[in-house]
Amino acid sequence: MRYYGPHQVKVATWNVNSIRARLNHACEWLGRHQPDVLCMQETKVVDDDFPTDEFMRLGYGVAMAGQLAYNGVAILSRLPMKDIGIGLAGQSLDADKRVIAATISGIRVFSCYVPNGKSVASPAFQEKLAWLEQLRQTLDATVDPKSDVLVCGDFNIATDERDVFAPELFRGKTHFHPDEHRALAKLRAFGLKDAFRELHSEGGLYSWWDYRAGGFRKNEGLRIDYVFLSESLSARCASAIMDREPRRLDKPSDHIPVLVELT
């Protein structure tokens, strides 16, 4: 005999730029889209002050790894989470809180906040490249590329010209530099597909717009937030959207959610 259980899963990622400042936006968005899982980045809060109760009232379990003022990642899930882990392979406990992982419905889910990199000449740029290399090593050490793996978050890298409002302006700079493209390609060579790109080939669709200079109004943005899927999951991906609605609200995050449906 055979048994096939229900395993449709909706997974989203959103850099909320402070979960306390964005609590209402996040709760409204969860109610509207009913994702099973929401990965968040830049929660900007220590674990004791995370608004855990508000999400639990909505039926979500909460796994978080935060720090004072900066960074911070979390996974909300209304399906059970197990084997929660934080940080990258070989990282010390006091490293920036930029990655948290959990296994949900047999899927190993990583919520990632890749370092911004500041400017190409800055040491932070090399640290960004090294961080991506360590993320690849973490995947190699902890998961099988033939299994169900979902790596999502704010990668602070636009993949190609379609993902940058002014490629000629950004080329060679942070977020659109060949070294970043090589680092991201090495990560993806683990066996990860860009869920949104698999289903949408047009340019000009962005996940982030600068708060300054009317970036959103002019659609001067970047696509830097991704859901990457291993082969087995990519085959199950029925939809992938980037929801611009939350960016229109009062006091929005500068990023919008990316949402995938796995059937």
Partner DNA sequence: ATGGTTGTAACACAA
Catalytic residues: 113, 154
Subset of residues 214 to 243 that bind DNA, contact rule: CB under 7 A: none
Place of tokens 């730029």: 17
Binds DNA (CB under 7 A): choice among 35, 115, 191, 246: 115
Q: How far is the CB of 207 from DNA (least distance, A)?
A: 12
Over the window 1 to 40, marking each residue x when it contacts DNA by CB under 7 A and - when it does not, the resulting string is ----------------xx-xx-------------------
Residue 248 as a binder of DNA (CB under 7 A): the answer is no
Q: Which stretch binds DNA (CB under 7 A): 68-76, 142-150, 187-195, 226-234?
A: 68-76
Q: Which contiguous run of DSSP H or E holds residue 54?
A: helix 52-57
Residue 120 as a binder of DNA (CB under 7 A): the answer is no
Pick 230 or 253: Cβ nearer DNA: 253
Query: How far does Cα 245 stand from its chain's mean position?
Result: 18
Q: How far is the CB of 20 from DNA (least distance, A)?
A: 4
Residue 52 as a binder of DNA (CB under 7 A): the answer is no
Q: Which stretch binds DNA (CB under 7 A): 42-50, 52-60, 176-184, 226-234?
A: 42-50
Residue 119 as a binder of DNA (CB under 7 A): the answer is no
- Do the Cβ atoms of 35 and 11 come closer than 8 Å? yes
Where does 167-230 have alpha helices with state H?
A: 167-170, 178-188, 195-199
Residue 126 as a binder of DNA (CB under 7 A): the answer is no
Q: Which stretch binds DNA (CB under 7 A): 5-13, 134-142, 143-151, 210-218?
A: 210-218
Please tell me the distance from the alpha carbon of residue 224 to that of residue 208, in angstroms, as a whole number.
7
Please tell me the distance from the alpha carbon of residue 147 to that of residue 151, in angstroms, as a whole number.
13
Q: How far is the CB of 253 from DNA (least distance, A)?
A: 8
Pick 35 or 117: Cβ nearer DNA: 117
Phi/psi at 46 (nearest 5 deg)? -70, 155
- Residue 13 pairs in a beta bridge with 39, 258
Q: How far is the CB of 28 from DNA (least distance, A)?
A: 15
Please tell me the distance from the alpha carbon of residue 208 to that of residue 135, in angstroms, as a whole number.
22
Please tell me the distance from the alpha carbon of residue 26 to that of residue 54, in angstroms, as a whole number.
10
Burial status of residue 45 (CB atoms within 10 A of its CB: 0-12, 13-18, 19 or more): buried
Phi/psi at 68 (nearest 5 deg)? -65, 125
Distances (CA, A) of 117 to 31, 144, 176, 234: 34, 29, 11, 29
Residue 111 as a binder of DNA (CB under 7 A): the answer is no
Q: Which stretch binds DNA (CB under 7 A): 53-61, 115-123, 131-139, 240-248?
A: 115-123
Q: Contact residues for DNA (CB under 7 A)?
A: 17-18, 20-21, 44-46, 68-71, 115-116, 118, 124, 211-213, 251
